[in-house]
Amino acid sequence: MVLINNYAKKISSFIKYKDNEITFPWGAITDLRQIGQGGSGLVYSGKYNDNDVILKFFYKNSSSNDFERFKNEYFNIQLLENAEKTHLASYINFDSIEIEDDLFFLYIMKRYKSTLKDYVLVYTGDKSELCEKVLYFLLKSLKQIHSKDIIHRDLKPENILVDCNDKFYLSDFGIAKYCDNSMTKVGDRLANYKFSAPEQSEKGTPITKSADIFALGQLIFWLLEGHTYAGTLDIDEYENNLIKPLLIKCLKYNVEERFQSIEEIEEFIEAEKRRLARIESMHQSELIYEKRLEANRLFTDLIRHSYPNSHSHISVIESEAYFNRVLTDLNAFINKYIGRIDIWYSTGWSNQILKNINYDVESNIVQLMLKDLNLVLEFSLEQIWLYADVSDYTSLYILKIKNLEPYEINDKKTYYKSIVNGEIEVDTNDIRSGYLELGETNGVIRVDTHIDFERYNGEDQYIAIGPLFLGAVYHRNEDFLHDLQDVDLTEEVVKGFIKNIRSHKLEIV
Ligand SMILES: Nc1ncnc2c1ncn2[C@@H]1O[C@H](COP(=O)(O)OP(=O)(O)O)[C@@H](O)[C@H]1O
Ligand SMILES: [Mg+2]
């Protein structure tokens, strides 16, 4: 201690005597002010021309091995290409001055805005975002020094410098051991000890890169918890659920159990990210599956509600009054779940989403309005087959349809009719040009809007209705449905159909 104080006194009296200015052969540093007394020596801020710089003095004479090592590491860092030291603090010069027969070494570096220690005190942003930023900074910066076989040995918030763009830089690598313990102030040593690896305080234990990895763990722990790790890691789950398993392996007291290199941590993070993404996508597909089951469940409930007798019982209805009730119910269902559950019709080989359904009891005409097509499909009804199964998936809603006579427009028969501009009824074929011919003397009008009607005149007689993943509508079963078109439905046939569609279970996507 005496020695330290003597050295410190010598340097500070000298600077005072020189009017806060030191003149080197290459120029003068002015406005010198002491800003700290770190583990390794005195720290001054000053100015070189108009630039803010920092001067760090070492108390040691040049015979020490540690000092040799520091010098080597300092030069090794200078030898890195610029791109290889983007996360390391910028050192400007290495020099020495003689004060009353004592030679003091010093280096000059850029003065940064702050250190991580002060930065967290004024930081108001998101904590886990900062954690992630510091973690990636430490990985990158340690990789840069470890690539030159330099072990930092003294990672702590004070040695992470912050510039005015909130970018971090690592400083003071390789100097921790430079000041031997007998010369460290008691308070400092205790303070440093909190971040450094346990093996660093055991005499004679070789220090590996893994010591820096312990300190990395401590820094992240400290950011999250406000204090360093002392043996209990009952941290809560953080937003970033990668952090906890990472910390567990960084903070092992036993060196062998710890990550051995930054590359190992990076591989761990990648693997963990992949694992979490897998869990997430499994979760997503389960959610989708749940949604499909839910749609089938609600639709089965609609069948039951429309015709309770259909519960677990293949039923067929054949009267207009029942048609009306059941289809009105279906229309209400479509409108209630619009945007959430699409209801499809399928004949096996063709299908569409329904927008609306209309039934006219008097004429026994069904109008299906198809989504996106602006088309109304018309037919008449013979039967509705209903079955509400306990499994939901095999519930049935099948219309047996009968083709209507074609429209008669201007004494011509057609299956395609359009209402043009809200008033004129025409054959759809007559407006395909976008214009409507009204006759020699009446001229031509432009078709601004039209609603199209089609009297169904296909071969199919059965239309299954339901959500897209209901067994009867599900695309994997379309051949089974298509095969029904040529037979007359009976309970036996329907049973066979149900058995077939059951063979294609709805799977988790
Ligand atoms: N380049 C720099 N720019 C700004 N402040 C610095 C710089 N280097 C050191 N400091 C400040 O000086 C203090 C003492 O530095 P140092 O001798 O490295 O001891 P320690 O890192 O143990 O605090 C640091 O805590 C920091 O606040
Ligand atoms: Mg420092």
- DSSP letter string, 353-369: EEEEEEEETTTTEEEEE
| Residue located nearest, by CA, to atom 22 of ligand 1 | 38
Contact 55, 29 (CB under 8 A): yes
Residue 211 one-letter amino acid: A
The SS3 of residue 199 is helix
The ligand 1 atom nearest the CA atom of 42: 17
Backbone angle region of 103, left / alpha / beta, with phi > 0 → left and psi within -120 to 50 → alpha: beta
40 lines ligand 1 (CB under 6 A): yes
pLDDT value, residue 40: 62
**Ligand 2 midpoint to CA 154 (Å):** 8
Contact 337, 296 (CB under 8 A): no
Phi, psi of 123 (to 5 degrees): -70, 130
Span between the terminal Cα atoms of the chain, in Å: 71
> Can you tell me the distance from the alpha carbon of 228 to that of 244, in angstroms, rounded to the nearest whole number?
15
463 lines ligand 1 (CB under 6 A): no
Q: How far is CA 426 from CA 126, 212, 404, 438, 443, in A?
A: 65, 83, 18, 10, 15
- Helix orientation angle between 209-225 and 262-306, rounded to the nearest 10 degrees: 40
User: Six-digit token pair at 145?
Assistant: 């020094």
The ligand 1 atom nearest the CA atom of 109: 1
39 lines ligand 1 (CB under 6 A): yes
**Ligand 1 midpoint to CA 486 (Å):** 88
**Ligand 1 midpoint to CA 149 (Å):** 24
The ligand 1 atom nearest the CA atom of 110: 1
pLDDT value, residue 92: 87
Q: Which residue shows structure tokens 């009607």? A: 453
| Residue located nearest, by CA, to atom 2 of ligand 1 | 111
Segment-wise mean pLDDT, segments of 10 residues, the chain, 509 residues: 73 93 93 81 91 85 62 79 92 88 88 97 93 96 92 92 97 58 38 79 88 97 91 68 90 96 97 91 92 96 98 97 98 96 95 96 96 91 97 97 95 95 92 91 92 94 97 95 96 97 82
Q: Which residue shows structure tokens 């910390």? A: 247
Q: How many helices (H) and strands (E) does the chain have?
A: 11, 23
Question: Which ligand number lies closest to the CA of residue 191?
Answer: 1
**Ligand 1 midpoint to CA 47 (Å):** 16
> Can you tell me the distance from the alpha carbon of 393 to that of 471, in angstroms, rounded to the nearest whole number?
5
The ligand 1 atom nearest the CA atom of 192: 22
314 lines ligand 1 (CB under 6 A): no
Ligand-binding site membership of 56 (annotated): yes
The ligand 1 atom nearest the CA atom of 172: 18
**Ligand 2 midpoint to CA 159 (Å):** 4
pLDDT value, residue 428: 94
Contact 234, 221 (CB under 8 A): no
List b or e across 187-196, with b for residues whose CB sees 16 or more CB atoms inside 10 angstroms. eeeeebeebb
The ligand 1 atom nearest the CA atom of 89: 1
Alpha-carbon dihedral 220, 221, 222, 226, rounded to 10 degrees:
130
> What is the pTM for the complete model shown?
0.67
**Ligand 2 midpoint to CA 161 (Å):** 9
pLDDT value, residue 87: 96
Given ligand 1 and candidates 158, 169, 171, 175, which is best to mutate, with the most ligand atoms within 8 Å of its CB? Answer: 158
> Can you tell me the distance from the alpha carbon of 170 to that of 101, in angstroms, rounded to the nearest whole number?
34
pLDDT value, residue 42: 86
> Can you tell me the distance from the alpha carbon of 52 to that of 46, in angstroms, rounded to the nearest whole number?
6
> Can you tell me the distance from the alpha carbon of 356 to that of 368, in angstroms, rounded to the nearest whole number?
6
> Can you tell me the distance from the alpha carbon of 207 to that of 180, in angstroms, rounded to the nearest whole number?
15
**Ligand 1 midpoint to CA 147 (Å):** 24
User: Six-digit token pair at 206?
Assistant: 């070789």
Given ligand 1 and candidates 34, 35, 177, which is best to mutate, with the most ligand atoms within 8 Å of its CB? Answer: 35
Question: Which ligand number lies closest to the CA of residue 36?
Answer: 1
> Can you tell me the distance from the alpha carbon of 91 to that of 346, in angstroms, rounded to the nearest whole number?
74
Contact 257, 249 (CB under 8 A): yes
Going by C-alpha positions, the residue among 225, 276, 267 that lies closest to residue 249 is: 267
